[in-house]
A and B are shown apart, each in its own frame.
Chain A
Amino acid sequence: MADLHKTPLHALHVSLGAKMVPFAGYDMPVQYPLGVMKEHLHTRAKAGLFDVSHMGQVIVQGATYADAAAGLEQLIPVDILGLAPGRQRYGFFTNDAGGITDDLMLANRGDHIFMVVNAACKAADIADMKASLKPELTVTEITDRALLALQGPAAEAVLTALDARASDMAFMDVATLELAGVTAWVSRSGYTGEDGYEISIPATDAARVAQALLDHADVEPVGLGARDSLRLEAGLCLYGHDIDTTTSPVEAALTWAIQKVRRAGGERAGGFPGADHILDDIKNGPTRKRVGLLPDGRAPMREGVVLFADKDATDPLGAITSGGFGPTIGGPMAMGYVAADYAGIGTRIYGELRGKRQPLTVTKLPFTPANFKR
């Protein structure tokens, strides 16, 4: 195996007794001694601290914010020009076929755009931006900063104890805070469905800030295992599984992220890769849709399980793209794509598990209610 990268918190994970696994080229903690189930439940009850330093942190800058925003709008079907200073927005890069090449968070930090992209996609994202954007725009990967996520109902109290301004932030606000003497780029967001923060800090100070957060009685370290079950309960897509280059944002039920100004009839309609396909999908409806799925019984149905309309159907309706056990809901849960006719809430379909067709119900996402501070 090629040498794995280590995040600035690697030694801390090992000292905390984490089980380390390779993930997107990094040696990452999948769980700590508490275990996936308790880490998940602790995050929903109090607060979990996640190391997400493997993700790409990128700054795009031009002469003005608007220059950088206008450039990125040619790659991302989102209203970036209209994003207010100190605000963050979800988006995705698209390809000419209308598929998704990565999903990301992007923030207006005054004179530049700060984005967080997926670890596995970051090299390609940066290469694409450098190749596509005008030379006046600079694209800089930030490699000397760690990224932490503090998630859960106690996150506000924990972070506010380090910098009182944390409580002034609303969901999807970004700000610069001082945490244990360290300048931190903070957003009020996350990947769990809970309130919380994502915190970019210099790598050299990362272990100290992480320890200051872990010193709070309500905070436990949480690994990638629980990160996955938390995001699935929250109905959030995992790139490479629930969305990829073959899924359009409309099929993926992400149309909400394409603001009206970028849709047909909008002031800046289209103008991004695959716009014809995506705007047509919005107008006419997609042929398949991403839906939530609840299996009957206790057996989890995982990624790859093929879905059928009934016990005898020979042609599949689609397949599960993420599935597992939801500790908060106390049972199995899944997401997947089904033919649009079968995407209605309450539709009963079947998944083929170990050679047997087992029933599932198409279910509203998220499985657990979002707990954001709007």
Chain B
Amino acid sequence: MKYTEEHEWLRADGDVYVVGITEHATTQLGDLVFVELPEVGATVSKDDEIVVIESVKAASDIMAPVDGEIIEVNTALADDPSLANSDAVGAGWFFKIKPSDPSQLDDMMDEAAYNAMIG
């Protein structure tokens, strides 16, 4: 697993990456009530705001962790946003992305570094 400073996790699945947000992030956000996912096939650039998530209290954006193409989105999460709270690194995944420049993953944190960041 790779982690970003924006509290996203990326898990390799062949040549694509499954992306979600960490349990630390969902705990901080509280109960999620709405998720708007990107379109399958969209070409995105790193740091584009491609997902909108809303908790009971506030809205936030999730940024593309790398340049690439959106291969699949988790429609079950759009139907039941609480999956991100109950199973952040499993059923609560957001989208799958195929990086156009896999070297962008090199700078990301591993689990130990992420845990050190969140203290």
Contact = CB atoms under 8 A, between A and B. Distances in A.
A374 interface: no
A327 B32 CA distance: 11
Contacts of B41: none
A300 B33 contact: yes
Interface residues of B, number: 11
B40 interface: no
A35 interface: yes
A327 to B, nearest CB: 7
B95 to A, nearest CB: 18
B34 A225 contact: no
Interface in A299-317: 299-300, 302
Tell me if B's interface is mostly helix, strand, loop or mixed. Answer: strand
B27 to A, nearest CB: 9
Contacts, number: 42
Q: Point out which of B33, B34, B54, B55 has the most chain A C-beta atoms below 10 A from its C-beta.
A: B33
A225 B30 contact: yes
A225 B57 contact: yes
Contacts of B34: 298-300, 325, 332
Interface string B23-54: 00000001101101000000000000000101
Given A299-B36, A300-B54, A36 B59 contact: no
A229 interface: yes
Interface of A: 30-31, 35-38, 40, 225-226, 228-229, 298-300, 302, 324-325, 327, 332, 354
Interface of B: 30-31, 33-34, 36, 52, 54-57, 59
Given A37-B31, A302-B59, 12 more contacts: A36-B57, A37-B56, A40-B56, A225-B30, A300-B33, A300-B34, A300-B54, A324-B56, A324-B57, A325-B34, A325-B54, A332-B34
